[in-house]
Amino acid sequence: MTSIYPLVKNEVLKIIKKRRFLVVILVLAVLIPIFTYAQLKVAQNAEKQFGTTDWRVTTQQQIYDYTNRLGSARVPEEWKKFMMVQVQQLQYYLDKDINPRSPSGVTFTIGFLTETVSLFLPLLVLAIASDLVSGERSGGTIKMLLTRPVLRWRILASKFIALLLFVSLIIVITIMLSYLISGFVFGYGGWDMPVLTGFQVNGTDVSTAFVHTIDQWLFLIMQGGLAWFSVMTVACLALMVSVLVRSTAASIVIMMASIIAGLILANMASSWESAKYLFMVNLDLPTYLSGQLPPIDGMTLPFSMTILVIWALGSLIVSFTVFTKQDILN
Amino acid sequence: MSSAAERVLSVRNLKKKLGNKMIIKGISFDIYGGEIFGFLGPNGSGKTTTIRMLVDLIRPTEGTVTVCGLDVHEEHTEALKLMGSIVENPEMYPYMTGWENLEHFARMVPGIGQERIQEVVDIVGMHNRIHDKVKKYSLGMRQRLGIAQALLGKPKLLIMDEPTNGLDPQGIKELREFIRRLADEGMSLFISSHLLSEIQLMCDRVAIISHGEVIAVGRVDELLEQSTGKVLIHVDSRDKAMQVLEGFANLEITDAEEVEMAELTKVSDSVVFAVRMDMTEVSHLNHALVVAGVNVHALQIRKPSLEELFLNLTGGESID
């Protein structure tokens, strides 16, 4: 029996030779400086507005802002909930004398991960995952691939392992690039700055019973891990769609549509509670750590992770069953 | 020769149902060591579906395919080690070079190193272009690369689906010689085609398939002999000859078109009949004509082509 290693090597080589990975890196290399610049502008703007760089003053100002707007009748209920949670958190940071937004390469990176995990990172993963199988089918090379003395499940397994490697690599490269690029502007320090985590949001109440401080570097690793987890789920689903659909374009469209649907649903899901069982409203894992309001009441980190695991396993089972059984008719 | 008796591929009662339609309705045939086996049928007759079942791309609804005693669908890995195949067009990864493609497929079979890759490149004569990207190859080059990848594992059986597609006459001639050389070295070859002349020139034995069924299997020359040939009879008197011909059983007077063609070369003021009949009866017919007082100017025996054989067997289904 052939070892799986040469098969994985084949798949990795194909992904690299197709230049898909290069595109992913280029997109990151272009976008991260843009976000860095935007972040810089935001910081400068805040400084101009409050006339100081003292974070205590600006945080106090922000709490005051939110509280004011909470009083307004024109602010939608959803936003009010969000702002009430924010106010309680900011106050807690202030009480503990910890800067919630100490500007550094590390905080930028954490912020970048949190912002991109629900749409942008999945998109990058789709660039690689969506044509893993459908590309072989539309190119006709599937016939060459499956008429080797190798069992079909091993071929799909090698594709899956290669995908796993590249998803991990995308997360690592995203973190490295955003740290290196933003650090150039915000400084490379801040690894041991404290962060508060463990906020528990219950309705509009923020429970601080389990809140504790951890170092930024650990927080980054945790956020990176969660981002990897949710993007890996997307990768599994994309692999399944790629097995089921013959055209790569269709495969990308299907995945993009469901992920974007998730973003839209998350905004109106408070009225449709069972939407929380859909994978796409659960992708935003990193926000749980920073203690923001979940899209639907009752959603927690363990809940979301369980949902994602179920979806990922389900799609892997479908992928392997279909791939090993299906007739290659054209 | 001992290898001649060895059964390399054995197909038994192969059936495939797609939806509610039986596409392949029970195909059986054998291929022996060192033989070139032709698989002939018009487009849409089920050739490609059958080939895909031979290489385990499609699971048959019923029936078995065994290679040297190994079931292709049950012992996929062991059986496919013995086979090399090109199913339809030789589609390779266009973004890799020919060499990289061969390396890719070599990695999927244990024990194939750089030397073997170099060997197959030499066999198909591609050393000049092997390090170019496949997207820059002509169809002929791709065919060669396809053959090279099929040969990587030193197969006992090589399956080629319409291998002459896209080749120029020179390329076809080279391919024919190449296939013969492989067979002489002991490899068995399975070659599908819808081109009768190709099969006739290339193959030792042939299976003719139509509407998902094998309608004839045998040596090409034997099949041709079995079939009733055509005789052109040049006589001086139409009416008398007609009487004699009508008196013969198992004799059929056929298409006028061919008669007209023969009349161009006929002996002056003779009448030409084209008849389909058993060749062993020709001398009896001649005798009968002479006895009846018909002057026979000429008897032309026309050997049937595979095309006529095919039309005979299928009752007129067209083939190009």
The shortest C-alpha distance from B57 to chain A (Å) reads 5
Chain-chain contact of A149 with B149 (C-beta, under 8 angstroms) = no
**Least CA distance to A5: which residue of chain B?**
B107
- The whole-number pLDDT of residue B4 equals 46
Instruction: Report if pTM > 0.90.
Output: no
Query: What count of other Cβ atoms lies within 10 Å of the Cβ of residue B7?
Result: 14
Q: Do B59 and A2 touch (CB under 8 A)?
A: no
Query: Is the ipTM above a cut-off of 0.95?
Result: no
Q: Report chain B residues whose CB lies below 8 A from the CB of A17.
A: 93, 95-96, 100
Residue of A nearest to B49 (CA): A329
Place of tokens 């660039």: A127
Q: Is B77's CB within 8 Å of A146's CB?
A: no
- What is the percent of chain A where pLDDT is above 70? 95
Average pLDDT over residues B276-304: 81
**Predicted local distance difference test score (pLDDT) of residue B3:** 44
Rounded CA separation A288/B243 (Å)? 102
pLDDT value at position A93? Answer: 79
Q: Which residue has the higher pLDDT, B34 or A50?
A: B34
Instruction: Name residue, tokens 């799609």.
Output: A315
Q: What is the mean pLDDT of residues B213-222?
A: 85
CA angle B85, B86, B92 (to 5 degrees): 120
* pLDDT band per the 50, 70, 90 thresholds, residue B250: confident
- pLDDT-derived band at A269 (thresholds 50, 70, 90) equals low
Nearest to A267 by CA among A275, A257, A258: A275
Measured CA to CA, the distance from residue A129 to residue A119 in angstroms comes to: 15
Q: How far is B13 from chain A (nearest CA, A)?
A: 19
- DSSP 3-state of B215: strand
When CB atoms are compared, the residue of A17, A143, A327 closest to B87 is A143
Give the percent of chain A with pLDDT over 90: 45
A154 touches chain B (CB under 8 A): no
Question: In whole numbers, what is the pLDDT of chain B averaged over residues?
Answer: 85
The pLDDT of B281-307, averaged and rounded, is: 81
| DSSP codes of every residue in B135-167 | GG--HHHHHHHHHHHHHTT--SEEEEESTTTT-
Asked if A328 is an interface residue toward chain B (Cβ–Cβ < 8 A), one would say yes
Banded pLDDT at A49 (limits 50, 70, 90)? confident
Residues of B in contact with A154 (CB under 8 A): none
Residue type for position B22: M
CB–CB of B57 and A146 under 8 A? Answer: yes
B95 CB near a chain A CB, below 8 Å? yes
At residue B319, the pLDDT reads: 46
Highest mean pLDDT among A50-54, B158-162, B256-260: B158-162
Banded pLDDT at A74 (limits 50, 70, 90): confident
Q: Which residues pair with A256 in a beta bridge?
A: none
Instruction: Give yes or no for a contact between A18 and B135, defined as CB atoms under 8 angstroms apart.
Output: no
B52 touches chain A (CB under 8 A): yes
Q: Do B77 and A1 touch (CB under 8 A)?
A: yes
Residues A149, B95: C-beta atoms closer than 8 Å: no
* Angle subtended by helix axes A105-116 and A216-244, to nearest 10: 30
The structure tokens 């061919």 sit at B258
* Largest Cα–Cα separation, chain B: 78
Q: Is any Cβ of chain A less than 8 angstroms from the Cβ of B74?
A: no
Question: What confidence category does residue B262 fall into, taking pLDDT thresholds of 50, 70 and 90?
Answer: low
Question: Residue A246, class by beta-carbon neighbours within 10 Å (0-12 exposed, 13-18 middle, 19+ buried)?
Answer: middle
In the predicted structure, residue A315 carries a pLDDT above the cut 90: yes
* CA nearest to B82 within chain A: A149
A330 CB burial (10 A radius; 0-12, 13-18, 19+): exposed
Dump pLDDT digits (tens) for A126-160. 999 998 999 999 999 999 999 999 999 999 999 99
Chain A contact for B17 (CB, 8 A cutoff): no
Residue B227 has pLDDT above 80, yes or no: no
Q: Tell me how far CA of residue A198 lies from CA of A190, A210, A219, A287, B28, in angstroms.
A: 20, 5, 11, 11, 70
Per DSSP (E only), the strands in chain B are 7-18, 21-32, 36-40, 62-67, 70-71, 83-86, 157-161, 188-193, 205-210, 213-219, 229-235, 251-253, 271-277, 296-302
- How far A157 CA sits from the closest chain B CA (Å)? 14
Tell whether B149 lies on the interface with A, counting CB pairs under 8 A: yes
